[in-house]
Structure 1
Amino acid sequence: MDFAGAYSADHLKFLLDGLYVTLIVAFFSIILSFVIGCVVGIIRYARVPFLSPIMFVLVELIRNLPLLLIIFFIRFALPEVGIRMGLMAAAIAALTIFEAAMIAEIVRGGLTSIDKGQIEAARSSGLGNFQTLWHIVLPQGLRRMVPPLVSQFISLLKDTSLAVVISLPELMHHAGIVIGHGYSYAIPTLLLVALIYFTVNFLLSLLSRRLESREN
């Protein structure tokens, strides 16, 4: 084990460059999947005619496919029909599609958990369906969704490592290159990568607990 060689200035900078790509991909995937997941989850909760059954089929289809397959499909299959994306765009698109399906179910479950008595009381006071959803159901539902949403975001961050299969220059891809310079670098490099993932995800967990405690 060559810790000194593995942790040379050049190698550390190279790994940090990979971490930067990982965080960029995770950031945009989280934002996009959250927005899309919320819209789809609300549509499913509201049982919008025609749209809700379509969303149900799409969500169940995506949730039961491996993320790796979606990554391969977007990167290698879509160009066959004229849709071409760069490495980062393909990774973000795949993660967004996959995670949006998961988040849609979290959103739908959170909204469904709201006591029906509150909904009936809101409607009896003159609020319409949309007003009830916006002012009564959604604020309470979002508070209940915080822990599972953060857990899903942590999973998303870890799933960015799967983009190594399309040679996205993210953290694991760069770690593999460092290890390729000498197998004595393997254990030190992987330990450092594990520490980086743990630190970022642990910070997200702390944020989740803080948000949850503030709501209680």
Structure 2
Amino acid sequence: MSILSQAYTWINLKFLLEGLGVTLEVSLISIVLSFVIGLLLGVIRYVGIKYFSAIVGFIIDIIRNLPLLLIIFFTYFALPKTGLRMSPLSASIAALVVFESAMLAEIVRSGIIAVDPGQMEGARANGMTYWQAMWYIILPQALLKMIPPLVSQFISLIKDTSLATIIVLPELLYRAQIIYGQDTRYMLPMYFMIAVMYFIVCFALSLVAKRMEKKFG
């Protein structure tokens, strides 16, 4: 029996697929939460609320310049010292949301800046308040401009979930390590399989983004 047939048994593949399910669960929750928070933070940075926007911008700059792995370590190992204990799943989502929200906030701010200023002026001239114009006129146009960088960031987030293996999150990479821990000959087949799985998920997301760009561009 070849090493591939031994490595790719149904039990091992099922174990990997369960890990992929955890990866997708963490990714989906993190994408939704970080997009909502990042959208809010990006608008706050753009609007320029006195003092508040500067403070938010300062915090965002700090987070963006920290390694994600450090944030994961802090969330899982340091926060329990303050009495806040989280499971590997919760800690992974919290760390990813904090990091990705900061990254998305800059994408949102750049997207809003890219919208023609005349759009805001025209909306205000037609009787809209500033926030009505922002919500109904500016943000929809900005979101269309943000599709490529947003999708790129979401793809990075999916791949970054592999870092959570360090806190024993039973995601795809962690489960692959368990399998080849039983037989080191399985290492290459396992890495090849998880590479294929990551590629399929990320490539599918990029195709969806391209279709959205063509449809709304």
Structure 2-normalised TM-score? Answer: 0.97
CA drift of 1:147 comes to 1.0
Q: Which stretches of structure 1, 4 residues or longer, exceed 3 Å deviation after superposition?
A: none
Q: How does 1:31-50 map to 2 (within 5 A)?
A: 31-50=32-51
Residue 215 of structure 1 aligns to which amino acid in structure 2? F
Matched residue SS, 2:49: coil
Cα distance in structure 2, aligned partners of 1:166 and 1:11: 22
Q: Which residue does 1:55 correspond to in 2?
A: 56
Q: How does 1:36-115 map to 2 (within 5 A)?
A: 36-115=37-116
Give a deviation string over 1:171-195, Cα, whole Å, max 9, x none.
Answer: 0000011111111111111111100
Unpaired segments ≥5 residues, structure 2: none
Is 1:191 the counterpart of 2:192? The answer is yes
Give a deviation string over 1:137-177, Cα, whole Å, max 9, x none.
Answer: 11100111111111100000000000011011000000011
Q: Which residue does 2:119 correspond to in 1?
A: 118
CA drift of 1:50 comes to 2.9
CA drift of 1:68 comes to 0.2
Structure 1-normalised TM-score? Answer: 0.98
Cα distance in structure 1, aligned partners of 2:135 and 2:68: 32
CA drift of 1:5 comes to 1.0
Unpaired segments ≥5 residues, structure 1: none
Aligned residues: 216
CA drift of 1:25 comes to 0.5
Matched residue SS, 2:94: helix
Cα distance in structure 2, aligned partners of 1:134 and 1:100: 19
Cα distance in structure 2, aligned partners of 1:179 and 1:191: 12
